[in-house]
């Protein structure tokens, strides 16, 4: 056989001796070997760089990154589907004035509510004016806001942040009821450790606050629209969370 020609066999006979054809070819073509090795490195490097850039883009746009049966928002994992069939739409992070991260919120709606949101965004001429957000916040759909804490926080600080904002848009009776229920879940004088999860579920006029096995409910139809208004209103407590909700909804509408 001609050893300068590639063959299926890795060896050939020459003058009665066995010769390793692949070895001979490698020795005969050192420049070609280095070229293809370098090409493989550049190709793999290009793939890794592309994945890295896509990841950065998703984070900058607050588009949830899919990770198996969950999505990642600002480094924290949220299930795609929660209890009662609620589906995540989007979310973002509540930050301090100094820029420190307090908690990341995932906003969930039932299947019907998610479908309505997506349908409203599908037309190219769809306008994301405040009326759209007000309708989402006041809809009768079952929905929830899940808070996951990025750092240890004083319960009193979180309670003041939420109830203080609610007291400006709710009547005193409703505001006091929610404040009492929240106080049962995160009592004053306690700490909320990093990675703690607190959910606020709205269903048929009842608001349920839950942390682990502890839960507290309030029946008041005015509270739920006000809570969602905190995050989706004209002056949201966190623009990042509202923007993340929009990015998540738009990504669903275009897939």
Residue 22's pLDDT is: 44
**How far apart are alpha carbons 28 and 32 in whole angstroms?**
9
Residue 78's pLDDT is: 97
Residue 124's pLDDT is: 59
Pairing of strands 191-192, 153-154: antiparallel
Residue 68's pLDDT is: 52
Residue 157's pLDDT is: 94
Q: How far is CA 44 from CA 22, 39, 149, 242, 243, in A?
A: 24, 9, 36, 37, 34
Residue 32's pLDDT is: 52
Residue 11's pLDDT is: 42
Locate the DSSP E strands across 68-120: 70-73, 76-79, 87-95, 101-109
| Residue-level pLDDT, tens digit, the chain, 255 residues | 443 443 333 444 434 444 443 444 444 455 555 544 545 544 444 444 433 333 433 444 454 554 458 999 999 999 999 988 999 999 999 998 777 999 999 999 999 999 999 888 876 556 678 999 999 999 999 999 999 999 999 999 999 999 999 999 999 999 999 999 999 999 999 999 999 999 999 999 999 999 999 999 999 999 999 999 999 999 999 999 999 999 999 988 877
Pairing of strands 191-192, 197-203: unpaired
Backbone dihedral angles phi then psi of residue 27, each to the nearest 5 degrees: -70, -35
């Amino acid at each position: 056989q001609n050893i300068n020609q590639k063959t299926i066999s890795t060896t050939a006979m020459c003058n009665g001796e066995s010769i390793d054809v692949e070895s001979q070819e490698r020795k005969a073509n050192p420049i070609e070997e280095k070229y293809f090795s370098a090409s493989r490195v550049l190709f793999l490097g290009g793939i890794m760089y592309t994945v890295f850039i896509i990841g950065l883009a998703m984070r900058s746009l607050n588009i949830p990154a899919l990770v198996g049966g969950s999505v990642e928002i600002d480094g924290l994992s949220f299930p795609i589907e929660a209890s009662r069939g609620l589906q995540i739409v989007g979310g973002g992070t509540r930050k301090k004035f100094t820029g420190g991260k307090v908690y990341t919120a995932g906003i969930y709606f039932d299947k019907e509510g998610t479908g309505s949101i997506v349908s409203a965004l599908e037309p190219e001429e769809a306008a994301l004016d405040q009326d759209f957000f007000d309708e989402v916040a006041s809809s009768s759909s079952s929905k929830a806001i899940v808070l996951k804490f990025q750092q240890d926080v004083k319960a009193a600080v979180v309670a003041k942040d939420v109830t203080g904002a609610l007291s400006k848009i709710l009547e005193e009776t409703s505001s006091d009821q929610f404040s009492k229920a929240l106080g049962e879940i995160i009592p004053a004088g306690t700490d909320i450790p990093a990675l703690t999860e607190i959910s606020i579920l709205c269903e048929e006029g009842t608001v349920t606050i839950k942390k682990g096995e502890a839960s507290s409910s309030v029946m008041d139809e005015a509270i739920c629209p006000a809570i969602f208004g905190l995050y989706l209103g004209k002056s949201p407590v966190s623009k990042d969370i509202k923007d993340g909700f929009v990015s998540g909804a738009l990504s669903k509408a275009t897939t």
